[in-house]
Every structure is written in C-alpha cells, then in structure tokens.
Structure 1
Amino acid sequence: MTPHHVVVGAGPVGRHVAELLAGRGDRVTIVTRSGRDTGLPHVGHVGLDASDATALTRVTEGAATLYNCANPGDYTQWERAWPPLASALTTAAERTGAVYAITGNLYPYGPVDGPMHPGLPDAATDHKGILRARLWADALAAHDAGRLRTVEVRASDYVGPGIGENGHITRVLPAALRGRAVSMVGRTDLPHTFTDVLDVARTLVAAAEDEGSHGRTWMVPSNAPRSQQQALTDVLAAAGAPRVTVRRLPAGLFRTVGLVSPMMREIADMTYQWTAPYVVDDHESRERFGIDPTPWDEVCRRTATGAAA
C-alpha cells in the first residue's frame, strides 16, 4: 500500500518535503488555509484551518506521517497563532497514529557561548524562543507518555529558493543583484550557519522515518559557517554579479524603533543572533542519517536562481 503523508504548510520547507515524498511515489497531501495548488506534480491539496483538530484529524486519518511545516510569519501574532495550531497537530497525531515530524528552529536555545547542539538546554529568555521551546516540550511529553511518536529537526537561517523576505540573505538579494548597496542586521563579519531549505526537508523526512531517532531534536546538516557578507557575496558570484557594499544595521536601532513598532520590537529580541558567532554542530545528524549538506556552490546557485524566478 502506498504510504500517505500530510504536510501542513506550503512554504519552502513544506514544498520541498512534499516534492521529495511525491518524487519517490508516495501519496502526499498539502494542507493550507487556502488549499491553493502549489503546482507540484502528484501532490494533493486541501484547504482548511489546521488549528481545527477535528478537520485536521479527518485529513490525517491513515497517514504515515504528519509534517509540521507551518510558519506563522508575523512574530507579533505568534502567541495567538502557535498554541492552537500546535495543539491541533499534536491531537491529530495522537488520534491517527501518524508520526509527528516538526520543523523547528534555534530560537529555544536563546543566546549561546559556543556551537549549538541537541544537548544544549532550551534556555531562551525572549517570548518567541520560550514559546517554541514549550511547544516542543509539550510534544515530547506526549511522546514520553506513549500517546504519539514525534521528532523535531532544528535549522539555522534559511537559504535556497522560495525564502524571499523571510531570509537574511534573500531579503537583500534582489537589490544586491541590481548592484545596490544593502543593509544587514548586526555584525556582518561574524561566522554564522546558514541552512538550505532542501536539507531541512531531507533531514525531516529521514528523522520521521527513523523510529530510533524519535523523542528528541536533531540539527539539520549545514555547510561551514560564513559571515553574512561572505554568504551574500558567494550568492552574487553564483549569479555572475559583482559584490556590493554591505552596511550594518546596529542592534540598538531595532530596540529604538521597537519603542513605536511592535514588529521591530520582536526583531530586536532576536538580534543576539547577529552580534556574536552563531554556529551549529550537526555531527550527530550527519552520522545518524548519513546526510551531508548540499554543496555550498549549489546552495548559492539555487538561492540566486530562486531570487531571479
């Protein structure tokens, strides 16, 4: 019988997950509010509010895996949007027996003094990091109680196609491709890990299907860290474009503007990621799943091509 998978979210990770699974002949259903067709071949689409546990359970019935690739984009709405969504996803996995595979991020760790790895405690102090840590803790508690099977993979800042304004490199890439000077957050010369969205999808699928990996978090294999300026320069080179002037946006600027702008206040909470090295240690994932990151040259080409599409 052909396995069926439900993917909640049609952003870059959800699309890559669906494409990987459908490409090997599995049945895939993407769930979004609109139900809009992504154009991916052999992939079904359903429109529903994924925070409706009953509706989501109905779609997930009989599925092998429920992939959480959702990403409420507005930080100011996270406290409202995430808890009911995560609760519905957990409930649907419990009711159907589907493996619950979660796309995570590094926010739960908060500021760090060295490379991030799964053995670090979730010690965030900002509300977004605390929230994401709590959502994982809730899913893990259900796993430990035997009510479901779950796993979370955590990735650093995304590169690759389809990221757009949600990526620190891709946000400035269109202007840089036109030869304009750009501004980037914090220090632009510090080592920072960037993760290709394709590698997020590859790791998420591998972790979901490896029963022995469940009940914990894993880091997505990523290329060696590069500074913001170097990463942007590399992507420009892949597009045959010259390097551009990169200006710094001081972290303090976001705190000042945040006095009158809720969104800038939310971004200010995260500027610690750009004022010190922000590096991932992914050796456990590489060893467990046999996954190496997509070569950096290819990552840069994919990112540049995606920006031009």
Structure 2
Amino acid sequence: MSQHHVVIGAGPVGRHIAELLAERGDRVTVATRSGRDTGLRGVTHVALDASDAAALTRVTEGATALYNCANPGNYTQWEQVWPPLATSLLTTAERTGAVYAITGNLYPYGPVDGPMRPDLPDAATDHKGILRARLWADARAAHEAGRIRAVEVRAADYVGPGTGANGHITRVLPAALQGKAVSMIGRTNLPHSFTEVLDVARTLVAAADDHGSHGRTWMVPSNEPRSQRQVVTEMLASAGKPPVTVRRLPAGMLRALGLVSPMMREISDMSYQWTAPYVIDDSESRARFGIEPTPWDEVCRRTVAGLRA
C-alpha cells in the first residue's frame, strides 16, 4: 500500500530520498522555500517555510515519515535559523505521528581520538557542534517521552552528485579538472571518511522504515577512509585526468582570515577535522540495515558526472 512521505529540503540528500521513495511507489512531497521542481516523476513540490509549524503540519498530516534534509547554507546564521526550524519539525512530528528522520553530521562529537561511533558522547565545544548536539538531544528526549518517534543518521563529508560548492572535495574539483592546483584545509595526507549522498538517503529511508532502530543515531555506511589528496587524485583519474598539486591551507591561516571574515571564522572553528585522522565506524549500521556503501569507483564517477552536468 502506498504511503505518504514529506521531505524537507531539495539538496542532494533530499532529492535522493524523494527519488528512492517514488521509485518504490510511495507518494512524496518535497517542501522548500521556493517550491522548486526537482524534476522527479510523481513527486509533488510545495513552497513552504518549514519553520511555520502550522503550515508544515497541514502538509504532513497523514504522512508516514517526515525527513529533515534541511541545510541552512550560511554558517554564520545557524543560531538564528536552526532552533525555530527544529522546533517546528518536532511540533509537526508530534501533531501528525509521522516518524521524524533527521539527516545529521559528525559535528556533535567534536575533536575525537579514534573512530567515531554512535555510542560516543556528543562532546563538541564549538558552537555549531553544540547546536547540532542539542537538536538531536531535544528529538531524543521527545522520543523517550513517547511524544514522537525519531531517528538520526550521521554522515561524514559528502561526495556524490549535487554536493557542488558545499562539498569539501567538490568545491575544488572544477579547478582540478582544468589541471589547476588546489588548496585543501589542514593536512592533506591524513585518513578521512567521506560519504556518498546516495548512501545517506538509503540509510535514512531504511532507518525511518525500521521502528526498532528509532531513538538513537546511526552512522551512514561509507567507504574506507582516504586522504584529501588521494580523493582528489582518484576523482581526477575517474575522469581520465592526471593528478594536480594539492596544497595545504594551514589552520593558522584560517584563524587569521577569520579575524576579518565571519565565514572563515566559522570554517576555522571546524578545522580540527582536518588536522588529525577523522574517520567513522559504521559497522552497526551495516549489520542493522544490510547496507554497503556505493563502490568507490562508482562514487568517483558519479561525483565528476554531477559536476559536469
């Protein structure tokens, strides 16, 4: 029997979720501020301010799941944008009974010593990590109180089609594809986990469907860690292009730039991710959901094709 799902956001994760759900025959509504059409057959699009709980509730009434794939693009505005948006999503989930499925990231953990696992505490001290940790804590508390059903999946840095300028790798790939040298944050030779956006969508859909998985966080199955230099080189190779020079942008330089640029200050706060190994342990998710990451050579091809498109 066809079910109804509401997806907030039409970025790479939201679009992939909508596509997966539509392909299996479910009804899907994608809500964005602009109401822009994703081009997906059978998917309904609505223009909506998701921080308006009354409007969001009207759209979500009767839905099986509500997917939070929102991604406020301006780092400097997170404290203003996220709290009312998250409150509206929680309120809507409680009013409608829809499963609240959250697209999370690794920020809540803060700097770590060893692989990140779901059982690690959310110990971030930077304001973005604290904010994201609080958003999940609020959802988990509502779940434990029996007010909603919630689950969050956490992904490493995105690769794959649609990531564009917001992806750490894809922001430099256009220049690299033209044979130009590129600059990457921090150390370029350390192991780092990267997650294909399709796999984020696959895991979130599986988690929303699996009621036994609710009330906790899960890691998105991802390929073996690779250094920044290695990823750029392998992406280029998939396009038949030779390696380029990958320069290091030191954390100290980011801090200096942050004295005059609010955006660079925000990026500098997260530079710890690139000064030590930053990898995930996704073994629980693989075992629970039976999901393996998209093969890396395919990830490379999809990423480059997405940029060229």
CA distance in 2, matches of 1:64, 1:242: 48
Pairwise CA distance, 1:36: 1.0
CA distance in 1, matches of 2:39, 2:110: 37
Pairwise CA distance, 1:206: 0.2
CA RMSD in angstroms comes to 0.5
CA distance in 1, matches of 2:20, 2:70: 17
Q: Does 1:164 align with 2:164?
A: yes
Give SS of 1:241's match: coil
Alignment correspondent of 1:120: 120
Instruction: Output aligned runs, 1:59-208, within 5 Å.
Output: 59-208=59-208
What amino acid sits opposite 1:216 in the alignment? R
Alignment correspondent of 1:11: 11
What amino acid sits opposite 1:165 in the alignment? A
Q: Does 1:295 align with 2:295?
A: yes
CA distance in 2, matches of 1:120, 1:40: 38
Q: Does 1:39 align with 2:39?
A: yes
Pairwise CA distance, 1:41: 1.0
Instruction: Output aligned runs, 1:265-284, within 5 Å.
Output: 265-284=265-284
CA distance in 2, matches of 1:17, 1:77: 26
Deviations 1:34-88 (A, max 9, x none): 1011111110000010000000000000000000000001110000000000000
Pairwise CA distance, 1:117: 0.3
CA distance in 2, matches of 1:239, 1:306: 12
Pairwise CA distance, 1:28: 0.2
Q: Does 1:253 align with 2:253?
A: yes
Pairwise CA distance, 1:2: 1.5
Q: Does 1:262 align with 2:262?
A: yes
What amino acid sits opposite 1:99 in the alignment? V
Pairwise CA distance, 1:168: 1.0
CA distance in 1, matches of 2:43, 2:235: 31
Could you list the structure 1 runs, at least 4 aligned residues long, displaced by more than 6 angstroms after superposition.
none
Give SS of 1:229's match: helix
Name the count of aligned residue pairs: 309
Deviations 1:175-203 (A, max 9, x none): 00000001100000000000000000000
Q: Does 1:58 align with 2:58?
A: yes
Give SS of 2:292's match: coil
Consecutive unaligned residues of structure 1, counting only runs of 5 or more, are none
CA distance in 1, matches of 2:89, 2:302: 31
TM-score where L is the length of structure 2: 0.99
Deviations 1:110-129 (A, max 9, x none): 00000000010000000000
Give SS of 1:180's match: coil
Deviations 1:202-244 (A, max 9, x none): 0000000000000000000000000000011111111111110
CA distance in 2, matches of 1:36, 1:211: 31
Pairwise CA distance, 1:102: 0.1
Deviations 1:87-133 (A, max 9, x none): 00000000000000000000000000000000100000000000000
Give SS of 2:134's match: helix
Identity of paired residues, percent? 80
